[in-house]
Amino acid sequence: MKYIFLSLLLFVNSSIAEELRFPDNGFKISSLESLKKDVFFQPLMMNLTPKNGLGKGVVVQIQPSVVKNIEEYKVISEAEFEKYKMIAISSEIKGSSYIYECIQTLSNGVKLHSYGRAMMKGNLVYSALATTPVDEWEENSKKLKETVNSFELI
């Protein structure tokens, strides 16, 4: 009886998982979802091939919100830009999304160019953030922005 229950449990769990496909890289994998959403976490990280040891890619982040709407989130984000001496290239609300682009200098002197899109659902903020070294932005920006802009809530 234990084996039937375990098999049924595995079947139910595997039928819930979505498959992520990466045909250009030659693989597929089942998604890994966390049901706990009351803490900051990154359920997805995708990376392009590193150059000079520096990574670039897109992360999806989910975090509990400390604000009531996306407009307040924009205000807090812009304050963070100033606090951390980031250069804001753009920062605007488009529909239900907050879209921003900025440059940040890390403590080791590396400059990163970031492009992000954030949305709220209930008391959570969902964001997709692309980051690459500044000197690689021109080479990678089209693909990174397309990926971030394809991010949707379901």
pLDDT per residue rounded down to tens, the chain (154 residues): 433 333 333 333 444 568 888 898 898 988 887 766 778 889 999 999 888 778 899 999 999 999 999 999 999 999 999 999 999 999 999 999 999 999 999 999 999 999 999 999 999 999 999 999 999 999 999 999 999 999 999 9
d(CA 2, CA 17): 23
Each residue of 66-77: pLDDT tens digit? Answer: 999 999 999 999
Domain coordinates in residue numbering, the chain: 1-33, 36-149
36-149: which CATH topology? Answer: Protein Transport Mog1p; Chain A (3.40.1000)
d(CA 119, CA 112): 23
- Asked if 118 contacts 70 with a C-beta cutoff of 8 angstroms, the reply is yes
Report the pLDDT value the prediction gives residue 15, as an integer from 0 to 100: 44
Report the pLDDT value the prediction gives residue 17, as an integer from 0 to 100: 60
Report the pLDDT value the prediction gives residue 128, as an integer from 0 to 100: 98
Report the pLDDT value the prediction gives residue 35, as an integer from 0 to 100: 67
Report the pLDDT value the prediction gives residue 16, as an integer from 0 to 100: 52
Question: pTM, whole model, 2 decimals?
Answer: 0.83
- Report DSSP letters for the chain, one per residue: -HHHHHHHHHHHHHHHPPEEEEGGGTEEEE-------SS-EEEEEEEEEEETTEEEEEEEEEEE-SSSSHHHHHHHHHHHHHHTT-EEEEEEEETTEEEEEEEEE-TTS-EEEEEEEEEEETTEEEEEEEEEEGGGHHHHHHHHHHHHHT----
